[in-house]
Chains A and B, each alone.
Chain A
Amino acid sequence: MSLQPLDPRTAEIFPMAARHLLGDTQLRKNVRHATDVIQNKRRIVVDEMPDWQELRESGKRLREHTMQHLREYLEQFERNCTAAGGVVHWARDAAEARQIVVSLAKSAGAKEVIKIKSMTTEEIQLNPALAAAGIRPYETDLAELIIQLGHDQPSHIVVPALHKNRQQIREIFRREMNLPDLGPSPQDLADAARLFLREKFLTVPTAVSGANFLIAETGGVCVVESEGNGRMCLTLPDTLITIAGIDKVIPRYEDLGVLLQLLPRSATGERMNPYNSIWTGVHPGDGPKAFHVILMDNARTSILADAEGRQTLNCIRCGACQNACPVYRQTGGHAYGSVYAGPIGAILTPQLMQMEHAQSLPYASSLCGACYEVCPVKINIPEVLIHLRNKVVKEKSWADPEAIALKTVASIFRSERRFRAAQRLGRIAERPLVRKDGQGDGWISWLPGLLGGWTQVRDLQSMPKESFREWWEKRAETKGGSDV
């Protein structure tokens, strides 16, 4: 199956997309299994930390402080990176960012580029733009390679091919790498990828990367990874082009002391990433000769302007909220119609779209709070979801059936008299719906309109003959009213 790039502007609304994916039993099994495995690993390395909650608090403070002084830290980064021989570019939006990357690659004479996993490049749909300019991108992260060869789309920000199992990956490699005899073991698959990629590392002189952190104090850029493909891309080519959202900046080198404890434990359940690369500008005779970094806004400043939404920018893209989310667990990532899936996607995507698209995403949550509990920088995701729901509601027309229903109910709750009347009316109105066929006596198994979603899979017990307050008042009368 070939999937179009995930684009919130054209994606189906969440409930519809979820409906299709819920029918994919293989995908659901893969997602359940993978998120269970990562969560268990995470739990072990988090529980062993006596100061995990303090670390989270430090992470939160650090990110809040950075966002309050974002402009200064970005300018400081620009100065220090430039002084070290890097070239800093600024991009207002996705189109500008794409155009800068393409023109830089072209002026380097690139026909091909090697890429490190980067959700920011997915956000701006860089690969189709490169291809359209005659430049072939090669993904070098194993999971991204699986996605690219499988004509698929990422479903998780840390483990993009989380929805595929080993047998499916083997099929993709057999077909796309033309390896009919490929074995099924992880070793076989890793070897195949290694052979396929090695040639690219040695021959393609231009690389594109994302960034985990931009260090304002030094002008350095930090990328963490598990496979070493990133290290290859960062050191072997002549030209390195890094693209990062402006939210990726951190003030000081020593801040990594907090963040590089929080990130790997939350993301992959590792105490430390196997590869931690930090580079600053260019160095003669060592690594790329030309280094460009593109600092991209793409709606981030508009998020920063919203006092309640801005904590979204504190995210360090660990994916822990995705693994913990019981909704993501059922649907996987594609249902969110965005490269940012799960709880972080449900708050980030609509804001990146400035609330013009993806309005169903803030509702793709039961508000259970599992995301908030695991978030290493304590983003109160349920609070932001509710805030965004409010923004959606404010844009609704007066004739919206849900708005009419909820406003009516609110007016009932504003008056004790109306509330009592509604309770009495409810008992009469439900009568035709209550079953009396011996199968489900006293239960409702069909409801009309908006409430039909309830009885699709659930029964509803019919209303009791007497509300609590009616019982209470009767009781008080028999007791002489002493209790009221």
Chain B
Amino acid sequence: MRISLFITCYNDTLFPDTGKAVVRVLERLGHTVVFPAGQTCCGQMHYNTGYQKEAMPLLERFVAQFRDADAVVVPSSSCVAMMKDHYPKMAEEIGRPDLIRDVAELLPKIFEFSELLTRRLGLDDVGAYYPHRVTYHASCHGLRNLNLGDGPLRLLKAVRGIDLVPIANVEQCCGFGGTFAVKNAEVSSAMLAEKTTAVLNTGAEACTACDNSCLMHIQGALHRQRTGVRTIHLAEILASTEEGRA
């Protein structure tokens, strides 16, 4: 299948390894990945912070870039939730009939990375090898907005060599919340303290998730405290094989 990659602005800039891992996994499975060059950002940060007006042109740009895609993969659950939850009413507000129609046609073809594998391609085992003790953080948008369910866990369970350990209070938010992390830094930090305690209690070497924004936040504290525990996007675990680590 021809799959268009929407890398998202922050993965493009800060976490290119996640994008490379997505490409590696999909090509290994025999698919062709395309990358529309004019893509930038889905508008989530602006929309969720109250800058709806600023988010509108970003929706238009996204649609123009991906309108003709057969399937779109996005390695960020919160960006997919942004598009599914808000794009239809944003398009209504802009009021262009062609845009409303394009959004309606495009949205069902957009998949968060794990969702593409489990729901669209029907796979649990993608032939990965990752001999480490890992715990999975269920990002809120993946859990509640996209209802990813146990899809990411099924993918992880099929990884050779992995020692997958459950985390306490898996449904509790890590406290990132986009601009919340700086606007309410102290509450965000109190929430993060509970999450990092839960991560450390698992004895895992690495904490994974379908969203680098949560992971950047969790990793920030794990590193500040020199815990020796790292974070890694799910795609990077799945890209890793006996032949070579991602």
Instruction: Confirm or deny: A419 has a beta carbon within 8 angstroms of a beta carbon on chain B.
Output: yes
For A398, the chain B residues whose CB sits under 8 A away are none
Q: For the complex, what is the distance from the CA of A440 to the CA of B224, rounded to whole Å?
A: 8
A368 sits at the interface (CB 8 A) = yes
Contact with A along B180-219 (1 / 0, CB 8 A): 1111111111111000000000000000000000001101
Query: Within 8 Å CB of B184, what residues of A?
Result: 14-15, 18, 327, 363-364
- Residue from the list B16, B52, B178, B181 in contact with A468, Cβ < 8 A: B16
- In the complex, the chain B residue whose C-beta lies closest to that of A394 is B50
Q: Nearest chain B CB to A259's CB is how many angstroms away?
A: 25
Q: Does B70 contact A (CB under 8 A)?
A: no
Q: Does B69 have its Cβ within 8 Å of any Cβ on chain A?
A: no
B25 CB to nearest chain A CB (Å): 15
Contacting pair A414 B49 (CB below 8 A): no
A166 contacts B by Cβ under 8 Å: no
A453 proximal to B (CB < 8 A): yes
Complex interface bits, B14-32 against A, C-beta within 8 A gives 1, otherwise 0: 1111011001000000001
Interface secondary structure of A, over-half rule = helix
The answer to whether A461 touches B219 (Cβ under 8 A) is: yes
In the complex, identify which listed stretch (A106-114, A170-178, A384-392) lies at the interface while the others stay far away. A384-392
| Complex Cα gap A195–B198 (Å) | 45
Kindly report which residue of chain B lies nearest to residue A373, judged by CB atoms.
Answer: B144
CB-contact partner of B32 in A365, A415, A457, A483, under 8 A: A483
- Digit string of B80-97 for contact with A (CB within 8 Å is 1, else 0)? 000001000000000000
A258–B26 CA distance with the chains assembled, in angstroms: 49
Report whether B20 and A468 are in contact in the complex, using a CB–CB cutoff of 8 Å: yes
**Is chain B's interface secondary structure helix, strand, loop, or mixed overall?**
helix
Q: Is the CB of B12 within 8 A of A368?
A: no
Query: A457, B173: Cβ atoms under 8 Å?
Result: no
Partner of A326, one of B19, B46, B191: B191
Known A413-B9, A419-B9, A469-B35; contact A367-B48, beta-carbon cutoff 8 A: yes
**A466 proximity list for chain B (CB < 8 A):** 16
Minimum distance in angstroms from B52 CB to a CB of chain A: 5
**A367 touching B180, Cβ below 8 Å:** yes
Q: What separation, in Å, do the CA atoms of A391 and B49 have in the docked complex? A: 11
Tell me which residues across on chain A come within 8 A of B14, comparing CB atoms: 461, 463-464
- Measured CA separation A471–B22 after assembly (Å): 13
- Contact B177–A460 (Cβ < 8 Å): no
Q: Does A423 belong to the interface (CB within 8 Å)?
A: yes
Cβ-based interface call for A19 (8 A):
yes
**By the criterion CB–CB under 8 Å, are A457 and B54 in contact?**
no
Segment from A50-58, A94-102, A227-235, A443-451 that makes contact with B: A443-451
Partner of A440, one of B15, B45, B140, B223: B223
Q: Say whether A426 faces chain B, with CB atoms less than 8 Å apart.
A: yes
Could you tell me if B58 and A460 are in contact, using CB atoms closer than 8 angstroms? no
Scan A339-374; emit 1 where CB is below 8 A from any B CB, else 0. 000000000000000000000001111111110110
Which of B17, B58, B61, B177 has the most CB atoms of chain A within a 10 A radius of its CB? Answer: B177
CA distance A404 to B141 in the complex (A): 28
B159 within 8 A of A: no
Is A484 a contact of B37 with CB atoms below 8 Å? yes
Query: Do the beta carbons of B7 and A468 come within 8 Å of each other?
Result: yes
B140 touching A390, Cβ below 8 Å: no
Once the chains bind, are A15 and B187 in contact (CB under 8 Å)? Answer: yes
Q: When the two chains form their complex, are residues A469 and B182 in contact, meaning their CB atoms are under 8 A apart?
A: no
Contact between chains at A413 and B58 (CB < 8 Å): yes
Q: Which of chain A's residues 1-51 have a Cβ closer than 8 Å to chain B?
A: 14-15, 18-19, 22
Answer whether residue A331 sits at the interface, using C-beta atoms and an 8 A cutoff: yes
A458 within 8 A of B: yes
* A255 CB within 8 Å of chain B: no
Given A389-B50, A483-B33, the answer on whether A460 and B186 have CB atoms closer than 8 Å is no
Q: Which residues of A contact B38 (CB under 8 A)?
A: 416
Cβ 8 A contact of A463, one of B13, B43, B48 = B13
- Chain A residues 427 to 484 lying within 8 A of chain B, measured CB to CB, are 440, 443, 445, 450-454, 456-461, 463-464, 466-472, 483-484
The answer to the question of B221 belonging to the interface, with a C-beta cut-off of 8 Å to chain A, is yes
Q: Is the CB of B183 within 8 A of A386?
A: no
Q: Are A416 and B182 in contact (CB under 8 A)?
A: no
* A190, CB-defined interface residue at 8 Å: no
Give the docked Cα–Cα distance between A408 and B127 (Å): 43
Q: A389-B50, A458-B192 are in contact. Are A468 and B187 (CB under 8 A)?
A: no
The answer to whether B40 has its CB under 8 Å from any CB of chain A is yes
| A391, A406, A412, A426, most chain B CB atoms within 10 A | A406
A156 CA to B187 CA in the complex, in Å? 18
- Residues on B with C-beta less than 8 A from A71 are none
The answer to whether B187 touches A22 (Cβ under 8 A) is yes
- State which of B13, B177, B179 has its C-beta within 8 Å of the C-beta of A423: B13
A-B contact pairs, 8 of them (CB 8 A): A327-B191, A362-B50, A366-B173, A367-B178, A368-B177, A458-B192, A468-B20, A484-B34
The 7 lowest CB-CB distance pairs between A and B, nearest first, are A366-B177, A458-B220, A389-B50, A453-B185, A368-B173, A453-B182, A410-B54
Given A370-B140, A389-B49, A464-B17, output 15 extra A-B contacts at Cβ < 8 Å.
A15-B185, A326-B175, A367-B48, A368-B144, A369-B145, A413-B58, A413-B61, A414-B40, A416-B39, A419-B40, A423-B12, A457-B185, A468-B11, A470-B16, A484-B37
